[in-house]
Amino acid sequence: MGRAVTHDRGKLVSDARDMFWRKGFDAVSVADVEAATGVGRSSIYHAFGNMRGLFDAAVTDYLDTIVRPRLRPMTVEKVDGDAVIDYLSRLRDAIAVIDRDGAAPAGCLLLTTAAGNIGGDDAVAQVVAAYHRELSTAIARGVQAHLPDADATTRDRMTRMTVAASIAGLSLARVDADAACATLDAAIATLAEQRRR
String of DSSP letters for 65-123: IIIHHHHGGGTSSS--TTHHHHHHHHHHHHHHT--TTTTS--S-HHHHHHHSGGGGSHH
| pLDDT averaged over every residue in the chain | 91
Q: Check if the beta carbon of residue 172 is closer than 8 Å to that of residue 144.
A: no
pLDDT digits (tens, 9 = 90+) for 55-89: 999 999 999 999 999 999 999 999 999 999 999 99
Q: Compute the distance between CA of residue 185 and CA of residue 85 in angstroms, rounded to an integer.
A: 10
pLDDT higher than 50, residue 1: no
Confidence grade of residue 99 (pLDDT, cut at 50, 70, 90): low
- pLDDT for residue 104: 65
Q: Compute the distance between CA of residue 145 and CA of residue 175 in angstroms, rounded to an integer.
A: 33
pLDDT higher than 50, residue 2: no
pLDDT higher than 90, residue 11: yes
- pLDDT for residue 172: 93
Between the alpha carbon of residue 157 and those of residues 75, 91, 164, the distances in Å are 19, 20, 10
Mean pLDDT to the nearest integer, 32-37:
93
pLDDT higher than 80, residue 121: yes
pLDDT digits (tens, 9 = 90+) for 127-161: 999 999 999 999 999 999 999 999 999 999 999 99
Q: Compute the distance between CA of residue 196 and CA of residue 150 in angstroms, rounded to an integer.
A: 11
Percent of the chain whose predicted confidence (pLDDT) is above 90 = 79
